[in-house]
Amino acid sequence: MKRFGFLLATGVALLALGGPAFAADAPVLPPAAVKTATDIQGKALAGSGAFGFVESLTVRVGPRLAGSPAAKLSHQWAEARFKELGLTNIKVEPFTVDGWERGLEMASITKPVAHHLHVNALGHSVTTPPEGIEAPIVRFDTLEDLEAAPEGSLKGKIAFVDKKMSRLQDGGGYGEAVGVRGKGPEAAARKGAVALLIRSIGTDSHRFPHTGITRYAEGVTAIPAGALSNPDADQLNRVLALGQPVSIKLVLSSQAMGTLNDANVLAEIKGRELPDEIVVIGAHLDSWDLGTGALDDGAGVGIVLATAKILKSLPQAPRRTVRFVLFGAEEVGLVGAEAYAKQHAAELPKHQVGTEADFGAGPVITFNANVRPEAKPVITAIGKILAPLGIVPGRGPSSGGPDIGPMTAEGVASAGLGLDGTDYFDYHHTADDTLDKVDPKKLDQAVAAYASFVWLAAESPVAFGPVDKKDH
Ligand SMILES: [Zn+2]
Cα 296 to middle of ligand 1, angstroms:
5
CATH topology identical between 29-98+259-471 and 103-253:
no
Report the alpha-carbon distance of residue 127 to residue 224 in Å, rounded. 6
**pLDDT reported for residue 266:** 98
Q: How far apart are CA 268 and CA 209, in angstroms?
A: 38
| Residue ranges of the chain whose pLDDT lies below 50 | 1-23, 471-472
Asked if 304 contacts 260 with a C-beta cutoff of 8 angstroms, the reply is: no
User: What CATH number was assigned to the domain covering residues 103-253?
Assistant: 3.50.30.30
For the chain, give every domain's residue range: 29-98+259-471, 103-253
Tell me how far the alpha carbon of residue 356 lies from the centroid of ligand 1, in angstroms: 10
Question: Do residues 170 and 150 make contact, with C-beta atoms less than 8 angstroms apart?
Answer: no
Coil, strand, or helix at residue 327?
Answer: strand
Distance (Å) from CA 326 to ligand 1 centroid: 12
User: What is the per-residue pLDDT for 22?
Assistant: 47
Give residue-wise pLDDT tens across range 278-337: 999 999 999 999 999 999 999 999 999 999 999 999 999 999 999 999 999 999 999 999
CA 31–ligand 1 middle distance (angstroms): 36
Supply the pLDDT for residue 27. Answer: 76
Ligand 1: centre distance to CA 286 (Å):
8
pLDDT of residue 176: 87
Does the pTM of the predicted model rise above 0.85?
yes
Q: Cα(252) to centroid of ligand 1, in Å? A: 24
Q: Determine the pLDDT at residue 26.
A: 66
CA of 297 to the centre of ligand 1 (A): 5
Instruction: Give the CATH architecture of domain 29-98+259-471.
Output: 3-Layer(aba) Sandwich (3.40)
Ligand 1 mean position to 287 CA, how many Å?
7
Q: In what order do the strands lie in the sheet with 320-327?
A: 88-101, 255-269, 320-327, 274-284, 351-356, 414-419, 364-370, 392-393
Q: What is the pLDDT of residue 216?
A: 79
Query: How far is 455 from 315, CA to CA, in rounded Å?
Result: 13
